[in-house]
A and B are shown apart, each in its own frame.
Chain A
Amino acid sequence: MFKILNAQFIAPGIKRFVIDAPRIARKQRPGQFVIIRVNETGERIPLTIEKSDPEKGTVNIVVQSIGKTTHLLNSLETGDNILDMVGPLGKPSEIENFGTVVVMGGGVGTAMAYPTASALKRAGNRVITIIGGRNKDLVLLESEMREVSDTVFVTTDDGSYADKGLVTDKLRQLIENGTRIDLVLAVGPIPMMRAVADMTRKERIKTIVSLNPIMIDGTGMCGGCRVLVEGKSEFACVDGPEFDAHRVDFAVLVQRNSMYREAEKRSMDDYVHQCELEKQKAAAPAESEVVCALEEKK
């Protein structure tokens, strides 16, 4: 059991958990992740580590409500427990002084990019950060990123905050302005990472992406997280999660991530239905105190 010491929504549908996990906190390096299982009947899913505090023995994870498991997780509050959390998994990011690094974060991907940006800055790099979201509320960790970056650009799809457009628009501008870029790190939705890869491939800028395929054990045992890298299968949990963006077959990644779409929808529908029932029960005088995440989002 892993105790939640603090749980707070940092954006609509996006929650930050501070979790008591001393072993993981002590070992976590930028670029690594955890796998959690919420309860006895739960699935195992990989999640982003935003940062950890080895002294306090805490690990921060940032979770966006998407399917049943993430909704269920985001219904948990300070003082609740997560049944299983294992990590830190995956290879840590390669940290050295590359020169000028552009760190790009889309949505919750920003949380994954943040510890690497921070380490790259400490290693002496000039860090240019580009973060984006669909709208103002979904731009995450801006102030944290400002602390570890030389420059921060923010974009929103709808223009509700900062520059209207995509993070890739900003990257293109930097390239067109003749900014010398030695490395790009992009973490976010697959279409964003793919677009970055396409853009930097032409410019021959080394580009790293952090992939989040379907995963079960996270130790290399099951092979479910295999990604096609230059025609060869590699496992995101032990060979990644970071890969050379120019070698990754993004089409296969998209296809494999869609494998359980129907089942995921069914789980989510059942969960929503369950939440409705709980709500009705709560309306009537009842002993149930389950608070539904869906309700909170409204």
Chain B
Amino acid sequence: MSTPPTPKTPPKKSSNPLANKDRMKLPRQHMLEQDPQVRNKCFTEVNLGYSPELARQEALRCIECAKPACVDTCPVGVKVKDFVQLIIDGDYLGAAAKIREDNVLPAITGRVCPQEDHCEAGCLLNKKGQSLGIGYLERFVADYERQHFDLKNIVKAPPTGKKVAIVGSGPSGLTAAGDLVAKGHQVHVFEALHEIGGVLVYGIPEFRLPKAIIREQVDYMRAMGVEFETDVVVGRTITIDELFEDEGYDAVFIGTGAGLPQFMGIPGEHLNGVYSANEFLTRINLMHSYEFPKYDQPLVDFRGRNVAVIGGGNTALDAIRSSLRLGAGKAFMLYRRSEAEMPARIEEVKHAKEEGIEFQMLAAPLEFLDDGKGWLKGARCQKMELGEPDSSGRRRPVPIPGSEYEIPLAVAVMAIGTTANPIIRHTTPGLATNKRGYIEASETTQKTSRRGVFAGGDIVTGGATVILAMGAGRRAAKAINEFLVSGEW
């Protein structure tokens, strides 16, 4: 462990020795990666991180905009310009502390955030070439902190005597917990599963987000004073009302996340070999099925067999890339739109292609075929073309008549989204939900229809991203703090 950090205030003058025009000539530094033909056979992390030299080279590219759009476009408002400056100064722990002012999970967002939609989209360098590698720099700083920061150096805020229950330990819950404990409130996080992290643990595979990193980020929060309790399904084990009445909480934040997996409602979805992405990924990530029989939770045999994932998001990519690592003979994505409409992170698409995933775009299954013994043997699919944009703004897929074709398949994974989980809705009187079953919450304060109850993340918006959920957690924490201090709703 290192000596205690001495967070510095950012220097008034830039310590970047380069003139702006020279900074703009520097190429974006590549992330070191495992070889695609090695990594597609194992679950160890794809990205290997920046060295301090690479981090400095990349940081030097920042042109220090007077009004940094990278900060405005970040859902949690990380002070990008300031932390990048601290990297140039070589003050990595200072940079980490700067990120932590706005983001309690830097090692996680540095890995899974779709930076191209947020901070890096705002970066002015885009106009001259490639944006600053903000995600890579965040990851570098966070990993340095993981290795060099002593948790004993965390300074706890004086206690306020107020108690907050956080329901769900995913990105929104952890973020709210971190911000609230920093204000001195007693924060208790309830998790339904046996591990802390929610979707970070059950949803995102090891090769993208190692579990050890989640545990370390959670340990950091423990050291901040956050209490965690696993194996509690709020709504079943204890209700929201009981949290107030029996356990004396002053406020509750609901961040229970994505809900029930959706199926297409086509024939054959009940066949053995058809999984929801949630189940498939939970088996792998939470239950370590890829290490069967060392771990007990089994999975069907993928070795040498054809596997298809239906969908085009990050979950779909996580599932199909996992399939390849389980030994799938042929692994492909079936997506009903074209690659341009895929909601997945650009880096994941690139990685998937390098690893040998086949992209079958503009195609959707019509039916899963039975081998006569209740097992999947294939899919009858249909080709699509793009029509007019739909409510999501993306061009609508339109079936091409007569384009049906069959593919042999042993496993199919449905990654087509989720619907709202009903447990809290059904057990919390007076909690308003919309017609799709998601909790209604203010977009600015995350307040629900129930006094003292806030909600954020996927249970409010439907399936979104880690960083958007974290943004909701931050807004909620701010409003919860105001509510606890003022007592006014």
Chain A contact residues, majority secondary structure: mixed
Please give, as numbers and ranges, the residues of chain B lying within 8 Å of A266 by CB-CB distance: 293
B194 within 8 A of A: yes
The residues of A that contact B263 with a CB separation of less than 8 Å are 223, 226, 233
Are A87 and B233 in contact, with the CB atoms below 8 A? yes
A23 touches B287 (CB 8 A): no
Is the Cβ of B194 less than 8 Å from the Cβ of A223?
no
A43, B374: Cα distance in complex, Å: 24
B338 touches A (CB below 8 Å) = no
A84-B231, A223-B261 known; A27 vs B236 contact (CB < 8 Å): yes
Report B34 CB to chain A, min CB distance, Å. 26
Which segment of B12-20, B136-144, B272-280, B310-318 sits at the interface? B272-280
CA distance A44 to B286 in the complex (A): 10
Contact residues, B282-319 vs A (CB, 8 A): 282-283, 286-288, 292-301
Chain B residues touching A, majority SS: loop
User: Range of interface residues on chain A?
Assistant: 35 or more
Beta-carbon contacts under 8 Å, B208-258 to A: 230-233, 236-238, 258
What's the Cα separation between A223 and B294 when bound, in Å?
24
Q: How far is the CB of B178 from chain A (nearest CB, A)?
A: 24
A216 and B259: CB pair below 8 A?
no
Q: Does A148 contact B (CB under 8 A)?
A: no
Q: Which of B186-213 contact A (CB under 8 A)?
A: 192-194, 202
Tell me, yes or no, whether A41 is within 8 Å of chain B by CB.
yes
Would you give the 0/1 interface string for A255-287, flagging 1 where the beta carbon is closer than 8 Å to chain B? 110111011101100100000000000000000
Residues in A with CB closer than 8 Å to B407 are none
Which residues on B sit within 8 Å (CB–CB) of A256? 270, 272, 374
Q: Which of B275, B287, B294 makes the CB contact (< 8 A) with A44? A: B287
With CB as the reference atom, state the residue of chain A lying closest to B261: A223
Give the total number of A-B pairs whose CB atoms are below 8 A apart.
123
A221 touches B292 (CB 8 A): no
| Residues in A whose Cβ lies below 8 Å from that of B278 | 221-223
Choose one: A68, A220, A224, A249; the contact of B296 (CB below 8 Å).
A68
| B400 proximity list for chain A (CB < 8 A) | none
Q: B423 interface residue, CB < 8 Å from A?
A: yes
**Residue from A41, A68, A221, A235 with most neighbouring chain B CB atoms (10 Å):** A221
Which chain A residues border B298 with CB–CB below 8 Å?
Answer: 43, 260, 263-264, 267
Residues of B357-374 at the interface with A, using a CB-CB cut-off of 8 Å, are 374
**9 shortest A-B CB distances, which residue pairs?**
A263-B298, A255-B374, A222-B279, A223-B276, A43-B296, A43-B297, A223-B261, A86-B231, A260-B298
Chain A residue numbers with a CB within 8 Å of B269 are: 233
Q: Is the CB of A216 within 8 A of B287?
A: yes
Number of interface residues, chain B, beta carbon within 8 A: 43
- Cβ of A270: which chain B residues have Cβ within 8 Å of it? 293
A259 to B374, CA, bound (A): 9
Q: Are A69 and B296 closer than 8 Å at their CB atoms?
A: yes
Judge whether A85 is part of the interface by a CB distance below 8 angstroms: yes
Q: B265, B293, B299, B301 — which one has the most chain A CB atoms within 10 A of its CB?
A: B293
Closest A residue to B258 by beta carbon equals A221
Q: State the CA gap A224–B422 with chains docked (Å).
A: 17
14 contacts between A and B (CB under 8 A): A23-B232, A23-B238, A42-B295, A44-B297, A216-B279, A216-B287, A217-B282, A221-B202, A221-B261, A222-B276, A232-B265, A252-B270, A259-B300, A263-B298
B421 within 8 A of A: yes
Q: Which of B282, B286, B298 has the most CB of A within 10 A?
A: B298
Cβ of B26 under 8 Å from chain A: no
- Interface residue B260 (Cβ < 8 Å from any Cβ of A): yes
- Residues from chain A with a CB closer than 8 A to the CB of B232 are 23, 86
Q: Which B residues touch A44, using CB under 8 A?
A: 194, 287, 297
Q: Which residues of A contact B (CB under 8 A)?
A: 23-24, 27, 37, 41-44, 68-69, 83-89, 216-224, 226, 228, 232-233, 235, 238, 249, 252, 255-256, 258-260, 262-264, 266-267, 270
Smallest distance from the beta carbon of A21 to chain B beta carbons, Å? 9
A259 vs B411: C-alpha distance in the bound complex, in angstroms? 12
> A83-B194, A238-B260 provided; 5 other pairs, C-beta below 8 A?
A24-B237, A42-B296, A216-B283, A222-B261, A264-B298
> What residues make up the interface of B, taking CB atoms closer than 8 Å to A?
192-194, 202, 230-233, 236-238, 258-261, 263, 265, 269-270, 272, 275-276, 278-279, 282-283, 286-288, 292-301, 374, 421-423
Contacts of B202 in A (CB 8 A): 217, 221
- What is the CB-to-nearest-CB distance from A70 to chain B, in angstroms, rounded to a whole number? 11
- Distance A87 CA – B275 CA, assembled complex (angstroms): 24
Give chain A nearest CB distance to B451 CB in angstroms.
24
Complex CA–CA separation, A89 to B231 (angstroms): 11
Query: B237, B279, B286: which contacts A87 (Cβ < 8 A)?
Result: B237
Using A89-B233, A259-B300, A263-B298 as known contacts, say yes or no to A27 and B238 having CB atoms under 8 A apart: yes
B276 pairs with A224, CB closer than 8 A: yes
Closest B residue, CB atoms, query A259: B272
- Minimum CB–CB distance from A37 to chain B (whole Å) comes to 6
Given contacts A228-B270, A255-B272, A263-B292, contact A218 B233 (CB under 8 A): yes
Known: A88-B237, A217-B193, A259-B300. A41 touches B288 (CB 8 A): yes
Give Cα A51 to B29, complex, Å: 62
Q: Is the CB of B260 within 8 A of A220?
A: yes
Q: Measured between C-beta atoms, what is the minimum distance from B413 to chain A in Å?
A: 11
Nearest to B239 among chain A residues (CB) is A27
Known contacts: A27-B238, A89-B233. The answer to whether A220 contacts B192 by CB under 8 A is no
CA distance A233 to B223 in the complex (A): 44
Residue of A nearest to B267 (CB): A231
Q: Which residue of chain A has its CB nearest to the CB of B234?
A: A219
Alpha-carbon distance A235/B193, docked complex (angstroms)? 18
Q: Are B260 and A41 in touch, CB under 8 angstroms?
A: no
Pair A223/B192 contact, Cβ less than 8 Å:
no
Of B231, B232, B272, most A-chain CB atoms within 10 Å? B231
A249 to B269, CA, bound (A): 14
Query: Which residues of A sit under 8 angstroms from B288, Cβ to Cβ?
Result: 41
Q: Are A223 and B238 in contact (CB under 8 A)?
A: no
A84 and B272 contacting across the interface, CB-CB below 8 Å = no
CB neighbours of B275 from chain A (8 A) = 224
**In the complex, are the beta carbons of B421 and A267 less than 8 A apart?**
no
Query: In whole angstroms, what is the CA distance A223 to B231 when docked?
Result: 19
- Distance in Å from the Cβ of A7 to the closest Cβ of chain B? 20
B259 with A88: CB separation less than 8 A: no
Closest-by-CB residue of B relative to A89 is B236
Considering the complex, give the chain B residue whose CB is closest to the CB of A38. Answer: B296
Is A220 within 8 A of B238, CB to CB?
A: no
B262 to chain A, nearest CB (A): 9
CA distance A42 to B296 in the complex (A): 5
Q: For the complex, give the distance between the alpha carbons of A84 and B294 in Å.
A: 18
CB pair A86–B283 under 8 Å, yes or no, is no
Question: With A and B bound together, what is the CA distance between A218 and B279 in angstroms?
Answer: 11
